[in-house]
Structure 1
Amino acid sequence: LIRQRTQDVLDQLPVDEPFDWVSNVSIELTARMLATLLDFPYEQRRKLVYWSDVAAASPETTGGQVKRDEFFPAVAEVARSFSELWRDKEARRNAGEEPGFDVISMMVNNEDTKDLIHRPMEFLGNLALLIVGGNDTTRNSMTGGVLALNRFPKEFDKLKANPALIPNMVSEIIRWQTPLAYMRRVAKQDVELNGETIRKGDKVVMWYASGNRDERAIDKPDEFII
């Protein structure tokens, strides 16, 4: 299914004229995959991308600039849409229908998560994690990968000559592009790390982008080498 939808997206691209790779491929293909994984209405798939963008740019969570009058209605729509989807899955199960292989069906039919809808904050948190995590990383990797192959044409030639290098390319895209630049956590206790004291309650940022370009650990860290 993933191969089929990827081929469908690529087959619809214009030939011999400019187009927006991010919108036409990275975002569209990511939206299709998210809708499939969650069994979300396919014709509304771009909502998943929009919700992810809003959640990832909220001042409360990431210091972004999305305004409250846009953020909270979007969160409410996520909760409403997936509550309806969850109830539909429950009704189908109770009617004797075999559960699907999508994530929502699995949660509805799992002993540990079947009552998740009655824990609204946890329910919404899990949805946000799935939608934002699946959106940002996938579309950023697809976009960064094309950019890398364009900037390093010899590596692209190497890949075309030997498709067995695709797994190497995937891991190198993740390193070179770093689709998720950082994460922030709050220290739960005082700790000393590399001579620096981190106090309980301090906010600690893990810069994956820095680690992935660390010249102390990686030879030629700014180059894309598959």
Structure 2
Amino acid sequence: MDIAINDAERARTMPLEDFDVSDVSLYQREALHPYFERLRKEAPVHYCKASLYGPYWSITKFHDIVAIDTNHKQFSSDHTNGSFVLDDTTLNAVEGGISMPNFLGMDQPVHDVHRMAVSPIVAPANLLRFENLIRSRTKDLFDSLPIGETFNWVDQVSIPLTTMMLATLLDFPFADRAKLTRWSDVVTTRPGYGLVDTWEQRTAELMECLGYFQNLWDERQKLPPKADLISMLAHSPAMQGMTPTDFLGMLVLLIVGGNDTTRSSMSGSAMAAHLFPDEFAKAKADPSLLASIVPEVIRWQTPISHMRRTAIEDVEFRGQQIKKGDKVVMWYLSGNRDEEVIDRPQDFIVDRPRARHHLSFGFGIHRCLGNRLAELQIKVLWEEMLKRYSRIEVVGEPLRVPSNLIHGYVEMQVRLHA
């Protein structure tokens, strides 16, 4: 509580020029909302002159984020201009990192070719095929959970369900699926945050990932095309010229996109049920509310905190002079709390009108490819939760992911009430 009070006071009194909302410690203790609230009110297009990632602009209001996200002429995602995330080292081999270009880090027309190679995986017919499998796995998992005993929801619910789905999408050897979780965590971290000690260790683990998938690629290329992501890539004419790092870039995008985001929303579901028990009770009484619960959980959690663009020409935006080459960061986490667009944005409201009006999937050509699959997984999760439990209680303070990109949890101790 003292930390929250201190942050609220600091956010109120600190000079705006000293604000750095990329500071990972703010995300570790979920203390960032007072800073974003002040930026939205006083400096919605804000320049941070010095950070771990260099200088950058923050875009914090809902409609401004949409304007940047859909302006592909002046704001680039292409890895050759920088990156699509704040941390260049994730992609650009700075400080010992490794370059991993993928279609999130590409502009048109190359972006469209790469995205089309894997988009059939989330076609409506495939989603229908997946629903029974998702439900069966979710039921089996909930059947195994203890009632009235404390356990880690992240380890026993969020990770298993998302990793099983990701293994299915990739047709990845099921016995080795824990590797997918590890690689997903490694690609979104920096040395010193508890997962890897050095850039060299991170690179070595990602090279292991590349080697494993290269074997799968070689196997799938020799077989007739199938409906899994690796087979789709292996048989796509447009993907045949990929370099090893191109392939790795595509892989990490599919792994993180198919894993971290849904995992964080599943963990956020437990936290929302805990913090808003009256809303959970309302949902139990009226299962038709699932149509608004699913997008509301994804808005309220906002599993990806930001995406970044690079200005490719001088731009005047909302009265600010953004120079060619400047980093421009769209803080989805802030836009989803914009009081001028979303009523009571800090609250989780199961019957929220226009619940789909959120930023979590992005806009424009880079809108989340797997959004419908993510919503299907969250829908089934909530259906099973509402059938089985009167209350989901979070015990103690959860441990959050040390990241300004992935907004999620490492550990969340919960107790289920039948």
Q: State whether TM-score is above 0.5.
A: yes
Residue 77 to residue 145, structure 1, CA distance change in 2 (3 Å): same
1:143 to 264, 267, 272: 267
2:282 maps to what in 1?
158
Letter of the 1:111 counterpart: P
Matches within 5 A, 1:1-226: 1-58=133-190, 66=196, 67-93=198-224, 99-113=225-239, 115-116=240-241, 118-226=242-350
Tell me how far apart the structure 2 counterparts of residues 135 and 70 of structure 1 sit (CA, whole Å): 22
Tell me how far apart the structure 2 counterparts of residues 3 and 152 of structure 1 sit (CA, whole Å): 25
Letter of the 1:78 counterpart: C
Q: Is this contact kept in 2: 1:56–1:64, CA < 8 A?
A: no
Q: Is this contact kept in 2: 1:144–1:173, CA < 8 A?
A: yes
Structure 1 position 58, deviation (Å): 3.1
1:96 maps to what in 2?
none
Letter of the 2:345 counterpart: P
Structure 1 position 121, deviation (Å): 2.4
Residue 218 to residue 31, structure 1, CA distance change in 2 (3 Å): same
Letter of the 1:108 counterpart: A
Tell me how far apart the structure 2 counterparts of residues 51 and 187 of structure 1 sit (CA, whole Å): 31
Tell me how far apart the structure 2 counterparts of residues 169 and 219 of structure 1 sit (CA, whole Å): 15
Structure 1 position 120, deviation (Å): 2.0
TM normalised by structure 1 equals: 0.90
Structure 1 position 64, deviation (Å): 6.2
Structure 1 position 140, deviation (Å): 0.3
Structure 1 unmatched runs, 5+: 94-98
Tell me how far apart the structure 1 counterparts of residues 312 and 202 of structure 2 sit (CA, whole Å): 29
2:44 maps to what in 1?
none
Letter of the 1:37 counterpart: L
Give the number of equivalent residue pairs.
216
TM normalised by structure 2 equals: 0.50
Tell me how far apart the structure 2 counterparts of residues 122 and 197 of structure 1 sit (CA, whole Å): 34
Structure 1 position 57, deviation (Å): 0.7
Q: Is this contact kept in 2: 1:39–1:104, CA < 8 A?
A: yes
Tell me how far apart the structure 2 counterparts of residues 111 and 170 of structure 1 sit (CA, whole Å): 37
2:4 maps to what in 1?
none
Tell me how far apart the structure 2 counterparts of residues 210 and 24 of structure 1 sit (CA, whole Å): 30
Letter of the 1:206 counterpart: M
Question: Matched residues, percent identical?
Answer: 52
State the SS of the aligned residue for 1:19.
strand
Deviation string, structure 1 residues 61-88 (Cα, Å, up to 9, x no partner): xx96742132011110111011000111
Q: Is this contact kept in 2: 1:34–1:134, CA < 8 A?
A: yes
Structure 1 position 133, deviation (Å): 1.5
Tell me how far apart the structure 2 counterparts of residues 85 and 184 of structure 1 sit (CA, whole Å): 32
Letter of the 1:218 counterpart: I
Structure 1 position 109, deviation (Å): 2.4
State the SS of the aligned residue for 2:237.
coil
Structure 1 position 185, deviation (Å): 2.3
Bigger RCO (CA 8 Å, 6+ sep): 2
